[in-house]
Chain A
Amino acid sequence: MRRLIFTFVTIIISFILQTTVFRYIDFGGIVPNLMVIVTSSFAFMRGDKNGIWVGVFCGLLVDVFFGTYLGFYALIYMYLGYLIGKFNKIFYPENILLPLLLIVASDFLFGFICYVLLFMFRNKYDLGYYMMNVIIPEVVYTSLVAIFLYPLLVRMNTFLEDIEQRSAKKFV
Chain B
Amino acid sequence: MSPVIKRGGERFTIPSKYLLFILTILCTGLIIVTFKTNVFNGSVNSVAGTFVIPVQKGITTVSTYFKTVAENLASIKALQKENEELKKKIEDLTTENTNLEQDKYELTQLRELYNLDAQYLDYKKIGARIIAKDAGNWYHSFVIDKGTDEGVAIDMNVIAGGGLVGRITDVGPDWALVQTIIADNSSVSGTVLSASENLIATGDLEMYNEGQIAFSKLVDDADKVSVGDKVVTSNISDKYLPGILIGYISTIEEDSNNLTKSGRITPVVDFEYMNEVLVIMQLKKTGE
Query: Which residues of A are interface residues toward B (Cβ below 8 A)?
Result: 12, 15-21, 23-24, 28-31, 33, 35, 47-49, 52, 56, 59, 61-62, 64-66, 68-72, 74-75, 78-79, 82, 85, 114-115, 118-119, 124, 126, 129-130, 133-134, 137-138
**Distance of B192 from chain A, by nearest CB (Å):** 26
Q: List the A side residues contacting B136 at CB < 8 Å.
A: 31, 33, 62, 66, 114
Q: List the A side residues contacting B139 at CB < 8 Å.
A: 66, 118
By Cβ-Cβ distance, the 6 closest A-B pairs, closest first, are A71-B30, A19-B132, A71-B27, A75-B27, A70-B34, A20-B59
B45-A66 in contact (CB<8A) = no
> For the complex, is B237 an interface residue (Cβ under 8 Å from A)?
no
Q: Tally inter-chain residue pairs, CB-CB below 8 A.
A: 134
B138-A65 in contact (CB<8A) = no
| Alpha-carbon gap, A134 to B206, bound state (A) | 10
| Alpha-carbon gap, A69 to B28, bound state (A) | 10
A19-B16 in contact (CB<8A) = no
| Alpha-carbon gap, A4 to B95, bound state (A) | 70
Q: List the B side residues contacting A68 at CB < 8 Å.
A: 34, 185
| Alpha-carbon gap, A36 to B255, bound state (A) | 41
Known: A19-B135, A75-B27, A138-B137. 7 other contacts (CB 8 A): A12-B51, A15-B135, A20-B131, A70-B40, A71-B31, A78-B20, A78-B27
A49-B16 in contact (CB<8A) = yes
| Alpha-carbon gap, A75 to B32, bound state (A) | 13
| Closest A residue to B51 using CB positions | A12
> For the complex, is B254 an interface residue (Cβ under 8 Å from A)?
no
> For the complex, is B260 an interface residue (Cβ under 8 Å from A)?
no
Interface size on B, residues (CB 8 A): 46
A65-B131 in contact (CB<8A) = no
Quick one: which of B124-157 are within 8 Å of A by CB?
A: 131-139, 141, 143
| Alpha-carbon gap, A134 to B177, bound state (A) | 22
Selected contact of B16 from candidates A28, A52, A130, A133, CB within 8 Å:
A52
Q: List the B side residues contacting A71 at CB < 8 Å.
A: 26-31, 34
Query: Which residues of B are interface residues toward A (Cβ below 8 A)?
Result: 16, 19-20, 23-24, 26-31, 33-35, 40, 44-45, 48, 51-52, 55-56, 59-60, 63-64, 67, 131-139, 141, 143, 177, 184-185, 205-206, 208-209, 272
Q: For chain A, what secondary structure do more than half of its interface residues adopt (helix, strand, loop), or is it mixed?
A: helix
| Closest B residue to A56 using CB positions | B23
| Closest B residue to A110 using CB positions | B136
| Alpha-carbon gap, A15 to B33, bound state (A) | 25
Q: List the B side residues contacting A15 at CB < 8 Å.
A: 52, 135
B63-A24 in contact (CB<8A) = yes
* Given A12-B51, A48-B16: A64 in contact with B27 (beta carbons within 8 A): no
A85-B16 in contact (CB<8A) = yes
| Alpha-carbon gap, A163 to B44, bound state (A) | 34
**Distance of A44 from chain B, by nearest CB (Å):** 14
B52-A12 in contact (CB<8A) = yes
**Distance of B40 from chain A, by nearest CB (Å):** 6
